[in-house]
Structure 1
C-alpha cells in the first residue's frame, strides 16, 4: 500500500516526507490538486507515497462517505509511519483527514507535549452523527480529540486534549462545532485578530508547548489571493500573513510536523506561498 519516491539517507533527525492524496473525505477533485502539488512543487524531494483508490465511487457507511477506502488508507499510512518512526513529519495531501495518522503519532511520541495549530476556514470538529454532509474532511480534528467512529479513533493512541489546540482563521463553523468550542474553551484566533498582530498567537503557543504541529488547509486563505480550494470561504487570511505567521512560528518553536492540504488544481500556476510551505516542510529534516 505504499511506494518509495526516490532514495533517502537518514542522518540525525529521522524525518518523513509523506505524500498522502486521500480524497474520499472531501471530493475527487482533491486527488487532482494533490497530484499537481506533487508535480509542480515536490520535484526531486524524497517522499513516501500512500496509494489511494482512484475510483470515484464512495458509498456511505457508518455515517461517512467513502468509509471503507478511508479506513484502509488510514491503516496504510499508520503502517508506514510506525515503520519509519520519524521525529518530524511533513504531509502533503489530499484532504484534512490525512492528518489523523501524523498528528496522533507525534502526539503519542511526544506524550502530549505538543501544540497543534489548525489553520483552516472550517472547524473539522464534526462527528458522523453531527455532520450534515457526511464528508470525513469535516471530522478529523474531532477524531484526533478522541470522538467519532470507533474503528478510526482506535488508531488515535494518544488523543489530543482541547488545551493543546489553537484554531486559526475559522469562518464557517456548524452549530455543533461552535458548541463544542464553547464547551471546551478552545482558543480561536479570527482572521481579523491575526491580521492585526501575530504576537498574541505566538504567546498562546508558548503557553502550551515548545513543540508544534502546523495544520494548513489552504482554504484558510483569502479567495481573492488563492481560490484553488475545495470549500472556499470569503474574507480569509492574506497569503503574506500566513507566510509571516509560519516564519514566526518556525523561529520561536520546534516544528515537529506540518501539512499542506485541500488544494485543487490551478492549471499549474506558480505560488510563492506554496513553495515556501514546501521548503519549510522539507527543511524539518535538518531540525
Structure 2
C-alpha cells in the first residue's frame, strides 16, 4: 500500500535558536507532497507552559500529540510524518505500534539519541526525550502506554554523535545498540542490528541532523561528520529490502529562508523517494 503523509509544523519541542524555522521547513516540504494523500495537523501559535513537568511547552506538545493521534486514527498503511521537531514521532510511533503489536522495532537515525527524561535533561526540551518516551519512560501524558511502547531491546540508534553523559550511561547500562556514523556505510551492520531484534517491521525516525551539514544547509543543529544523502538512501533501501516499513518521520528541517529551502528540497525529496518507492527485494 502506498504511504500517505501527515505534516506537523511543530517547533515547541526544540530548544534550538532556530526552532521557529522548523515550522517553515515542514511547510516547505508539504508544498512538494502529493495533495491527495497529504494532511496537515494544525499547531498552536503559543509556546505553551511546562505545568511543572520538567518539559518546556508541555501543554502545547500535549495538544499537538492529541491532534496528531486523531489525524492518524483509523488510517491503514504506512504514514510518513513530516515535522517540525522530533516530538512528532511520539504519536506517529504509537500509531505504527497499534498496527503492528509486538512486531515493531524503531530505527533512530539522529545526531542525538534523545534518551533523556525530565530528570536528566539539561535543557527541558522534549526533542531530547522523545525516544525514551517511546519506550515508556518520562512524564505522564508524553510517554507511550504499555500496549504501544517499544522496549529498548527493539531500538537501534544510528549516527548519534552528540551524546550527553546521562544518555551514554543509559546506553551502556541497558545495552542499547548505537552505531556510529562510520559503521553505517555499508549498511550491513544496521541491517544486522535490526535483524537481531527478531521483528519483521520497523519504524524509521529520521532527524535530518544525522546528515553532514555539507549535505543540507537547513538544519536546526549543526554537527559535522554526519551521513551523506547517498549513504542515508542506501541505508533506507537496504532496510526496506528485508523488513516492512511501518512508517517514518522526517524532522529537523529548518531553512533560513524560502530560497534556502528551495536549495535543500531536492535532497529531501530524494530521501522521501527512498522511503516511498516500492521496496526492492
The TM-score with structure 2 as length reference comes to 0.89
The answer for the alignment partner of 1:24 in structure 2 is 12
Q: CA RMSD in A?
A: 2.0
For the Cα contact (< 8 Å) 1:42–1:278, is it kept in 2?
no
For the Cα contact (< 8 Å) 2:217–2:264, is it kept in 1?
no
The answer for the alignment partner of 1:203 in structure 2 is 192
The answer for the alignment partner of 2:25 in structure 1 is 33
C-alpha deviation, 1:199, in angstroms: 1.0
Distance 1:181-1:230 versus aligned 2 partners, 3 A rule? same
Matched ranges for 1:169-208 at <5 A: 169-195=159-185, 197-208=186-197
Distance 1:274-1:284 versus aligned 2 partners, 3 A rule? same
Q: Matched residues in 1 for 2:187 and 2:95: separation?
A: 28
2:97 maps to 1:107: yes
Distance 1:60-1:90 versus aligned 2 partners, 3 A rule? same
Q: Matched residues in 1 for 2:277 and 2:63: separation?
A: 30
C-alpha deviation, 1:277, in angstroms: 2.4
Please say which of residues 170-179 and 145-154 is displaced more in the overlay: 145-154
Aligned match for 1:68, one of 59, 75, 78: 59
The answer for the alignment partner of 2:71 in structure 1 is 80
Q: Matched residues in 1 for 2:271 and 2:173: separation?
A: 33
The size of the alignment, in residue pairs, is: 269
Unaligned runs of 5+ in 2: none
For the Cα contact (< 8 Å) 1:259–1:281, is it kept in 2?
no
2:84 maps to 1:94: yes
Q: Secondary structure of 1:92's partner?
A: strand
Unaligned runs of 5+ in 1: 1-12
